[in-house]
Structure 1
Amino acid sequence: MKKLVLLSLLMIMSVGLINAQSKNADIKFEKTSQNLGTFSEKEPVATATYTFTNIGDAPLVIHQVVASCGCTVPEFSKEPVQPGKTGSIKVVYNGTDKPLGFFKKSIIVRSNAKTPTTRLFIEGTMTE
């Protein structure tokens, strides 16, 4: 009798665990790369916004957003994004004291999505 109760309890727990694992957040960006175009070193700050949607069936949480250098600063909300809803990541590039010409920087987004890491790119050309 004890074996039957233990076996039944294990089966119930397994079904609950399988159901809990079937829900996942998933992230889809409208664009993963943005070109800021050409701008002057006299006004060396430019901004890009990356919009994403949680296409999963669980809340999406952005854990961390890291830029490849200090000249690129990301801003994002730490609030969970519910399934079907959108969110955004704002990235500010500051080219002060940076060389003129073309640049391309990367931003790494870490989340609880099915694919937990996404790489975004920001590029442009700074002139005199």
Structure 2
Amino acid sequence: MFLTMKKITSIVFGIISIAFVSCGNKQQVSAEQMADSTHFAELTYIEDFYDAGTVHSGEIVKHSFEFKNTGNIPLVIKDIIPSCGCTKVDVTQKTLKPGEKAKLIVEFNSKGWFGSQYKSVTLRTNGVIREKSATLKVNVVQ
């Protein structure tokens, strides 16, 4: 069976038509998503870096990082990810209404560590930027 040039042209035209229709649907979805982009959650740290100075090995350093929801829908903390097992973490609140503040509590056990240490904690949220970190710096001496 041989296809005539007219049949080949019809098939190609049909494929191109389907592609254009599909692209049109994607643009409509994007327009709907853009219309909904006025509703968002956003985690904003009041302070995202803290230098605890110098401590002796074995001391525990504790600091609270304050943050707030600067978006206009509830912010949900989905996960708290410390960069090291030597760091305990907690948050005072896992769901924040727009404008509400909470604290990320970081506790670093310096036992066995020496020199400049940077310990980060990442909060994974439903925010515009899904992951944001705060960092604790400590200089550990004997």
| TM-score, shorter chain, exceeding 0.5 | yes
Query: Partner of 1:100 in structure 2?
Result: 114
5 Å matches for 1:17-56? 22-41=38-57, 43-56=58-71
Query: Partner of 2:87 in structure 1?
Result: 72
Change (3 A) 1:49 1:83: same
Structure-2 separation of matches of 1:104 and 1:57:
33
Structure-2 separation of matches of 1:127 and 1:39:
6
Deviates most, 72-81 or 62-71: 72-81
Query: Partner of 1:81 in structure 2?
Result: 96
TM-score (norm: length of structure 1) = 0.77
Question: Any idea what SS the aligned residue of 1:61 has?
Answer: strand
Listed as ranges, the gaps of 5+ residues in structure 1 are: 1-13
Identity of aligned residues (%): 21
- Tell me the C-alpha RMSD between the 2 structures: 2.1
Report how far residue 77 of structure 1 moved.
Answer: 3.8
Report how far residue 83 of structure 1 moved.
Answer: 0.5
Listed as ranges, the gaps of 5+ residues in structure 2 are: 1-28
Report how far residue 46 of structure 1 moved.
Answer: 0.5
- For residues 44-91 of structure 1, what are the alpha-carbon distances to aligned partners after superposition, in whole Å with 9 as ceiling and x for unaligned? 100111101111100111111111110011111454111011011100
Question: Any idea what SS the aligned residue of 1:46 has?
Answer: strand
Aligned residues: 112
4+ residue runs of structure 1 moved beyond 6 angstroms? 16-19
